[in-house]
Structure 1
Amino acid sequence: IDDFASHAQMGWGRAPPPPVVEATPRPSDYIEAQMAIYLVVACFIILHFPRRMGVGGFKLAVASAAYKVATSFGVEEDATATVALLLAVPALFRLYQFVITLLATFPLQLTFPFVVDLIPRFAITAENFFKADGATPEVAARRKASLEGLQKGWGVKFEKCLDFGKELKTLISDVRFTSGRCFPPFNQVVNEYLDPSMALAKTNGPEVIDIDGNKALDISGSYGVNVCGYEAYKGFMAEGWKSAKDKGLYLGSLDETTRDNIKMIKAVSGLEEISFHMSGTEAVMAAVRCARFNQRKSLCVVFGGAYHGWWDGMQPSAGNERTPQDVLQLKDMNRLALTVIASRASEIAAVMINPLQCFHLNSSPPSDLVLQTNNRKVGANPGYGAWLQELRQVCTDAGVLLIFDEVYTGFRVAPGGAQQVYGVKADMVCYGKTLGGGLPVGVLCGKKDSMTRADPKKAARVAYVIGTFAGHPAVMGSMNAFLTWLNKETTAKEYDNMHSLIEAFILKSNKAFKAQGFPLEFANWFSVWSMVYTEPGRYHWMFQYFLRDAGVALSWVGTGRCLFSLDWTQADYDKLLERILVACAAMKAGGWWEPPRVSVKKSIGLEFAAAIFKSLVGFA
């Protein structure tokens, strides 16, 4: 009966269909399905690379777990492959972004997190201190006698300063940090002989006078603050007190002086709005926060070796115990860096540049602390202006803010800072140092839409960027005096005259060094200059101590960065050269500039390798 019914249903004369047999899945089918799922997971990983580089172990573990979970479900391979294909295009673009970012990244940002834990602190022994370059016993003896002579002389000349410095080192951590002024392996022995601490009594023109009564020509520039000359700042600060003394400590309200300052700063910066802060670092912090808030993007770009203050949020390599994940440190004057900015515009809120980098491109600020041999490379880069113009255009096209950190260069290189020098307009500018007229200050300038602290559409979305002492009456008064001076018709001529005197000084000095056989030359960028050593040597950092002995005041970075101010006369420059030549003669007589008898680079490499080995095996 069943057969009859079946034939009737299908039609008479037709054969019944073959029985349905369940197909046994082939191993290759499982492999194809798993590969498709794996491709989906891989695409997700690539699409969500961390904003810097690499994939952390935690992310790899999560990805592996996700893959295992995905493959445990019965997902049709065709559907999975389709999803994978849809994800592949953006994933490949993300991979492209990752690769070009990696290639354009400043090498130190990649290596420093590993190197910092690898290299131990070590010291050259007293026995090897004077012959680290393979010197003969005679040269080593000369060096020891020279150092002992400095020690003995300083004990008399700087007696009060030495006692004062010894006391301060037990009280102030900054002094202990800045007391190491030479290449670190030599510090321990040097500090047993010499202490360059200076206790200031007063200033007089370009000279500083210590509590022992010693006078020294100052080329430290007070970390960049001293643009006009110390006597000028005494006047600015006096005007500031005169303006503020009747107002007292009343904060939170603005006055006419503040309003006038805002108008003058707007004229200098060419930007619409101003906010006041207490330091250049604070101005940078405010700029970054405002940029991220108003752009609704998290990444910021800086360039190799540039210094933007001590805030760990903008120190992507050396000097920072926390590596920021939202800062890309790219190579300066690198075309691939421009490609990175353009391709990652949806993530990048701002690009911040320090114009001073053109003087030491793609390297940290020059300092005797890193002076291993004649490895200091400085000098104005003639193509930097064209690079900034190109960077400006890329940022404009990409919708990325361009921030000029002019804390150091603003008012030093020209009345209008680097914006004036290079003819490039920034979206935001940070000022500090000299703008306070001798008192602490930070200023952020920007376009209206980049300075907003409150979202007009979101009531709870605000950028809390304020400060108690911002706009302090005394600071506003001294700032007003400085800006009033800046706007005088004669001020631009003062800058031109200073630059002419500096160029003549550099030329005259370099001729003298060459004629007398000293391995030294000067390089400058406007009033910023550096001492460059022309021959290999392990003791170039010693020169800073002979300069101090000869009556030249340096900052804690030694001969790496020096500064002139507008009040220097021809007589001052001549006096400085005389003192530098005295220091050169003492340096040479002491045997410190004798040619190395072994490869300096090889010696340093072996010392570091030995220290690392001892540290790894537990002997250090």
Structure 2
Amino acid sequence: MSDTPRLDAARADLIAKTRQCRAISAARAEVLNSGLAANLEMPHPIFIDRGEGCRVIDADGNTYIDTSVGFGLHMLGHRHPLIRDAIIERTDKGWMFGIHTTAQMALAELLKEASPCAERVVFCNTGTEATFYAMRAARGFTGREHIALFDGAYHGAHDYGMVMAQPGSPPEALTKLPMGRGVPAAITDLMVMLPYRHRAAFDIIRARKNELAGVIIEGVQSSNPQPHVGEFLRELAQVCRESGVLLIIDEVITGFRVSYQGAQGRFGVTADLATYGKTLGGGMPVGAIAGRADIMNVFTGLAAERGVFSGGTFSGNPLTMAAGTAMVSHLKAHPQIYARLDREGDRLAAAVNGFCAQRQLPAQMKNVGSMFHMFFQRGPVESARDIRADHVAAEKAFYLHALNRGVLVPGTQRAFLCDAHTTSDVDTLIEVFCTSLADVEADGLFR
């Protein structure tokens, strides 16, 4: 990062008021390897002690407006009394049995009612597990082995999700790469890379339909939230249907966030299978696969009948089911939450984009309702193929200034609003983001 007196002062101020976080960071290095992008780690990680509403308090007692909200899962904010009380009530009855409980039925019925594609539901523990099992189900149902996914997507940390497109390769013939070491080439070979929001994707599906078990796509790419993806999703569903290829919509982030019915409901598309996580669990670890009964029935087969296996010690555990039922029931009863968050998300993006346009800054904010992401570049950003690292120093300085002013943005830079963010809180976000951009501009870092 390019140093300037203003940036040095902000960094020094942040270090001075986060001494305990700095000490914890040093101690952590002797014990833990970081596998979690919790924050931007400038100049060191911020360690959170507690949360309340849309705010978190670090180990030094500093309070931040949180735009991570648990990577988007806290639709109602931290420590919401409804969720807290549901968890406490459940603990009085026991929290792990290893066999089915009545708590599973309540959340399964809510998910079946909310998800346009859900005729049957299977619970697991994470969104990663959900997409993994959905791919397995697609293979088991169709008898085919290949799965197609889109450039710029993230479908969890299992090997089948750890495949990306080579930057700069043509959309009609994207080159595949593993996301880091440890992913076998044999697995990468089973994945077909499609260009996001490009018609070549449909041609590839048609050409390879006899080997494709399914196509998986995020309802909205969290790394690139585009508000006008509905037409592409609907045409993709039609192409998959005509080609006999299963459509898997990854609703791990979008489920119960972009609408009560997720991306499927918001954009008017129905998947064959959908995966869920995050918000569904009310802040507890959760994953779920939902879909057509004939496909989901592959999970019920015994090994002798060559069924598809799914399982996990904590799948459908009572604590998660209680928290999830409380969350989803509240969202069902209060649909106005979505309308308000859409308005506030649009207002935030419009204000930041207006500021950038007025000052001709190479920065922009994309959002779909309460999901938002900053990009530090000029020109349209329609897919991952358009994303460039044009102003890295400016980007890092922006997030440091925002953090020093009391706004926490997750290290993934995928940010969210929740129902606990008030109009006043969004006003503060606008002020902090615009002031931080002005500081970056004044220091000449947009070069």
TM-score by length of 1: 0.63
Aligned 1:362-373 pairs, distance under 5 A: 365=223
Map of 2:159 onto structure 1: 312
**Quick one: distance in 1 between partners of 2:154 and 2:147?**
14
Map of 1:258 onto structure 2: 104
**Quick one: distance in 2 between partners of 1:437 and 1:302?**
28
Residue range with higher mean Cα deviation, 396-405 or 506-515: 506-515
Is 1:196 matched with 2:44? yes
**Quick one: distance in 2 between partners of 1:417 and 1:219?**
20
Map of 2:193 onto structure 1: 329
Aligned 1:462-611 pairs, distance under 5 A: 462-488=307-333, 491-515=334-358, 519-534=362-377, 537-541=391-395, 542-557=397-412, 560-593=413-446, 596=447
Q: Secondary structure at the match of 1:224?
A: coil
Q: Secondary structure at the match of 2:121?
A: strand
Q: Secondary structure at the match of 2:10?
A: helix
In the superposition, relative to structure 1, how do residues 581 and 332 fare at CA in structure 2: closer, same or farther (>3 Å)?
A: closer
Q: Secondary structure at the match of 1:294?
A: helix
**Quick one: distance in 1 between partners of 2:435 and 2:127?**
37
> What is the deviation of 1:171?
1.6
Q: Secondary structure at the match of 1:221?
A: coil
> What is the deviation of 1:533?
3.0
> What is the deviation of 1:440?
0.3
> What is the deviation of 1:513?
4.3
**Quick one: distance in 1 between partners of 2:392 and 2:414?**
19
Q: Secondary structure at the match of 2:374?
A: strand
In the superposition, relative to structure 1, how do residues 513 and 445 fare at CA in structure 2: closer, same or farther (>3 Å)?
A: same
1:173-215 deviation line (CA, Å, top 9, x unaligned): 126x74895xxxxxxxxx8xx5231121222321111121211
> Structure 1, unaligned stretches of length 5 or more?
1-128, 131-142, 182-190, 360-364, 366-377, 597-620
**Quick one: distance in 1 between partners of 2:301 and 2:391?**
61
Kept in 2, the 8 Å contact 1:280–1:430? The answer is yes
Q: Secondary structure at the match of 1:223?
A: coil
**Quick one: distance in 1 between partners of 2:96 and 2:140?**
32
Kept in 2, the 8 Å contact 1:241–1:478? The answer is no
Map of 1:446 onto structure 2: 291
Give the letter for the 2:368 counterpart: W
In the superposition, relative to structure 1, how do residues 341 and 537 fare at CA in structure 2: closer, same or farther (>3 Å)?
A: closer
Q: Secondary structure at the match of 1:148?
A: helix
Kept in 2, the 8 Å contact 1:240–1:479? The answer is no
Name which of 194, 214, 217 aligns with 1:350. 214
Map of 1:606 onto structure 2: none
In the superposition, relative to structure 1, how do residues 455 and 237 fare at CA in structure 2: closer, same or farther (>3 Å)?
A: closer
> What is the deviation of 1:356?
1.6
Q: Secondary structure at the match of 1:451?
A: helix
Name which of 94, 102, 114 aligns with 1:247. 94
Q: Secondary structure at the match of 1:216?
A: strand
In the superposition, relative to structure 1, how do residues 399 and 273 fare at CA in structure 2: closer, same or farther (>3 Å)?
A: same
Map of 1:24 onto structure 2: none
Map of 2:123 onto structure 1: 276
CA RMSD, aligned part only?
2.5
Name which of 50, 71, 74 aligns with 1:226. 74
Kept in 2, the 8 Å contact 1:237–1:437? The answer is no
Q: Secondary structure at the match of 2:351?
A: helix
Give the letter for the 1:348 counterpart: L
In the superposition, relative to structure 1, how do residues 487 and 154 fare at CA in structure 2: closer, same or farther (>3 Å)?
A: closer
Name which of 401, 404, 407 aligns with 2:246. 401
1:37-93 deviation line (CA, Å, top 9, x unaligned): xxxxxxxxxxxxxxxxxxxxxxxxxxxxxxxxxxxxxxxxxxxxxxxxxxxxxxxxx
In the superposition, relative to structure 1, how do residues 442 and 549 fare at CA in structure 2: closer, same or farther (>3 Å)?
A: same
> What is the deviation of 1:162?
0.9
Residue range with higher mean Cα deviation, 402-411 or 514-523: 514-523
Map of 2:279 onto structure 1: 434
Q: Secondary structure at the match of 1:524?
A: strand
Q: Secondary structure at the match of 1:539?
A: helix
> What is the deviation of 1:506?
2.5
> What is the deviation of 1:579?
2.2
Give the letter for the 1:469 counterpart: F
Aligned 1:56-455 pairs, distance under 5 A: 130=2, 143-174=3-34, 178=37, 181=40, 194-232=42-80, 234-255=81-102, 257-270=103-116, 271-317=118-164, 318-321=178-181, 322=183, 323=185, 324-357=188-221, 365=223, 380=226, 382=228, 384-453=229-298
Give the letter for the 2:282 counterpart: G
**Quick one: distance in 1 between partners of 2:189 and 2:44?**
38
Map of 2:167 onto structure 1: none
Higher RCO (CA-CA < 8 Å; seq separation 6+): 2
Kept in 2, the 8 Å contact 1:530–1:561? The answer is yes
Larger Rg: 1
Kept in 2, the 8 Å contact 1:200–1:211? The answer is yes
Q: Secondary structure at the match of 1:288?
A: helix
TM-score by length of 2: 0.86
**Quick one: distance in 2 between partners of 1:391 and 1:496?**
27
Q: Secondary structure at the match of 1:246?
A: coil
**Quick one: distance in 2 between partners of 1:228 and 1:259?**
23
> What is the deviation of 1:517?
6.3
Kept in 2, the 8 Å contact 1:277–1:470? The answer is yes
Q: Secondary structure at the match of 1:328?
A: strand
Give the letter for the 2:78 counterpart: Y
> What is the deviation of 1:144?
4.4
Kept in 1, the 8 Å contact 2:138–2:246? The answer is yes
**Quick one: distance in 1 between partners of 2:327 and 2:299?**
32
Residue range with higher mean Cα deviation, 271-280 or 491-500: 491-500
Q: Secondary structure at the match of 1:297?
A: coil
> What is the deviation of 1:220?
1.8
> What is the deviation of 1:167?
1.1
> What is the deviation of 1:269?
1.4
1:158-180 deviation line (CA, Å, top 9, x unaligned): 111111111112222126x7489
1:382-422 deviation line (CA, Å, top 9, x unaligned): 3x322222221222222221111100111110000011011
Residue range with higher mean Cα deviation, 270-279 or 339-348: 339-348
> What is the deviation of 1:433?
0.5
In the superposition, relative to structure 1, how do residues 472 and 456 fare at CA in structure 2: closer, same or farther (>3 Å)?
A: closer
**Quick one: distance in 2 between partners of 1:341 and 1:581?**
43
> What is the deviation of 1:519?
4.7
